[in-house]
């Protein structure tokens, strides 16, 4: 009784597939009406084709069935059994042909070969309307065999249909071979095109989703780095102004003026970050770093040498200076911070080291690759994309050190590289 359970299970699967197809078609029609109402081009291509789209072609076998009922077929039990087996195998094959894994399975190919044998046997034994099983076989073959071997298989099946038809009904039945060739090639072409269109649409949607995700990550990183540094500078300068106000009002006003300038610059940078057009300058970031460190009573020491950088690499190192100095001001408790930029072999290196007892905002027990909070982790990913690296961790002599490296590029390239708008 296991075969009965198998048949019942298969019927239930077909019923579920039919129900799903109806639901997809109803959704497609609603989307079509909505698009027409808005005067837009509909994007939904509709539900994918299923085995139900190839079932109506079984009506081509009605002539053979009629012959059986009218008693025009010798050995009707053999003919009826052959008709039943062919139709059953046809349904089995066409439903499996719309699932790539099942289409390429050995069981599907075996069923297709058995269909071919039954078709040849019925056509040779009875001729007449039984020859039209060859176009049906071509439909099933085109649905299953898609790819570089389709031409060879289609021509071989056409030659077989021609030979059997000519043998049974003479040259007048050569149209059976023509129908077999058309049904094989056209079915394969339509189903392959439909599948390709859906794959391209899925790929386009995936690319759009990734672009949105990439932009979201970019914006969150830029906003974190911009606001974290700017707010830290504002807080430090505000504290300095508060300390200076009782004894040196002029110096306090200078700090307040710097706060205003930092705030205005932050507004400009946030607008640029939102539109994605921000391009940092290493020299500008170094000047800001000196100002922020001095306001926090940290002695800044800046050493700069090495080759010119492309605008993209200069912007990356500018982000490193901004993030590292922000951490020094916030967490280190340092009295001195050294910023060194130089060229080493075929790479440029930027090092920010402080002498504070704090952790620089990055937990760890030793220098490790890309450790730290959100800012340093984001910078590690950015540098890795550009072929560089970021190391951050406590220094052996005390304090905290951030080291960024990038592949060096020629001065000529840096000088002639076009800046993005």
pLDDT tens, position by position, 232-241: 778 888 888 8
Decide which of 7 and 29 is more confident: 29
Whole-number pLDDT of residue 158? 92
List strand residue ranges (DSSP E) for 248-385, in order: 299-304, 336-344, 347-354, 368-369
CA–CA separation, 26 and 160 (whole Å): 42
Decide which of 244 and 344 is more confident: 244
CA–CA separation, 300 and 141 (whole Å): 77
Mean pLDDT of 214-231: 71
Whole-number pLDDT of residue 418? 40
- Contact 282/314 with Cβ under 8 angstroms? yes
Mean pLDDT of 55-81: 83
Whole-number pLDDT of residue 117? 93
pLDDT band at 245 (very low <50, low <70, confident <90, very high): confident
Percent of the chain with pLDDT over 90: 14
- Span 366-382, pLDDT tens digits: 334 434 455 677 788 88
CA–CA separation, 58 and 118 (whole Å): 15
pTM of the predicted model as reported, rounded to 2 decimal places = 0.51
Give the strands of the sheet with 336-344, arranged side by side.
299-304, 336-344, 347-354, 400-407, 389-394, 368-369
Task: Flag the least confident range among 16-20, 82-86, 255-259.
Answer: 16-20
Task: Flag the least confident range among 10-14, 27-31, 223-227, 347-351.
Answer: 10-14
**Per-residue pLDDT at 403 exceeds 80:** yes
pLDDT band at 310 (very low <50, low <70, confident <90, very high): confident
**Per-residue pLDDT at 419 exceeds 80:** no
β pairing state of 347-354 and 368-369: unpaired
Whole-number pLDDT of residue 20? 66
Show the tokens assigned to 350: 């930027």
Q: Which of 7-11, 106-110, 279-283 has the highest mean pLDDT?
A: 106-110
Mean pLDDT of 205-219: 78
**Per-residue pLDDT at 415 exceeds 50:** no
Whole-number pLDDT of residue 307? 75
Decide which of 409 and 309 is more confident: 309
- Span 175-198, pLDDT tens digits: 889 999 999 999 998 888 888 888
- Token pair 């969150």 is found at 220
Mean pLDDT of 263-275: 70
pLDDT band at 31 (very low <50, low <70, confident <90, very high): low
**Per-residue pLDDT at 80 exceeds 70:** yes
Whole-number pLDDT of residue 338? 92
Whole-number pLDDT of residue 372? 46
Diameter over CA atoms, the chain: 121
In the predicted model, what is the mean pLDDT of the chain? 78
Convert 281-320 to b/e letters by CB count within 10 Å (16 or more is b). Answer: ebeebbebbbbbbebbebebebeeeeebbbbbbbbbbbbb
Decide which of 18 and 142 is more confident: 142
**Per-residue pLDDT at 137 exceeds 80:** yes
Whole-number pLDDT of residue 116? 92
């Amino acid at each position: 009784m296991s075969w009965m359970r198998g048949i019942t299970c298969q019927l239930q699967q077909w019923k579920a597939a039919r129900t799903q197809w109806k639901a997809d078609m109803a959704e497609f029609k609603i989307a079509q009406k909505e698009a027409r109402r808005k005067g837009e081009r509909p994007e939904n291509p509709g539900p994918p084709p299923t085995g139900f789209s190839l079932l109506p072609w079984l009506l081509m076998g009605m002539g053979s069935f009629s012959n059986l009922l009218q008693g025009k077929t010798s050995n009707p039990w053999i003919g009826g059994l052959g008709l039943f087996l062919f139709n059953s195998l046809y349904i089995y094959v066409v439903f499996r042909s719309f699932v790539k894994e099942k289409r390429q399975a050995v069981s599907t190919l075996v069923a297709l070969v058995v269909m071919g044998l039954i078709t040849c046997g019925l056509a040779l034994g009875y001729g007449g309307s039984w020859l039209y099983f060859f176009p049906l076989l071509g439909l099933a073959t085109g649905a299953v065999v898609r790819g570089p071997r389709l031409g060879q298989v289609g021509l071989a099946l056409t030659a077989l249909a021609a030979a059997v038809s000519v043998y049974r009904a003479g040259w007048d039945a050569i149209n059976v071979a023509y129908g077999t060739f058309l049904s094989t090639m056209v079915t394969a072409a339509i189903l392959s095109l439909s599948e390709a269109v859906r794959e391209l649409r899925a790929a386009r949607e995936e690319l759009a989703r990734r672009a949105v995700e990439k932009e979201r990550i970019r914006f969150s990183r830029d906003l974190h780095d911009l606001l974290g540094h700017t707010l830290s500078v504002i807080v430090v300068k505000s504290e300095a102004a508060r300390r200076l106000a009782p004894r040196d009002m002029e110096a306090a006003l200078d700090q307040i003026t710097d706060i205003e300038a930092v705030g205005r610059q932050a507004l400009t940078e946030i607008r640029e970050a939102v539109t994605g057009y921000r391009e940092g300058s290493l020299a500008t970031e170094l000047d800001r770093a000196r100002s922020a460190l001095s306001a926090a009573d940290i002695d800044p020491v800046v050493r700069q040498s090495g080759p010119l950088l492309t605008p993209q690499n200069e912007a990356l190192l500018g982000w490193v200076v901004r993030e590292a100095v922000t951490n020094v001001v916030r967490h280190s408790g340092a009295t001195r911070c050294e910023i060194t930029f130089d060229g080493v072999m075929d790479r440029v290196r930027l090092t920010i080291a402080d002498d504070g007892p704090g952790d620089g905002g990055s937990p760890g027990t030793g220098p490790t690759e890309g450790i730290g909070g959100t800012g340093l982790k984001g910078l590690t990913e950015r540098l890795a994309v550009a072929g560089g690296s970021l190391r951050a961790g406590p220094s052996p002599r005390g304090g905290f050190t951030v080291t960024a490296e990038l592949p060096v590029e020629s001065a000529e390239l840096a000088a002639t590289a076009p800046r993005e708008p």
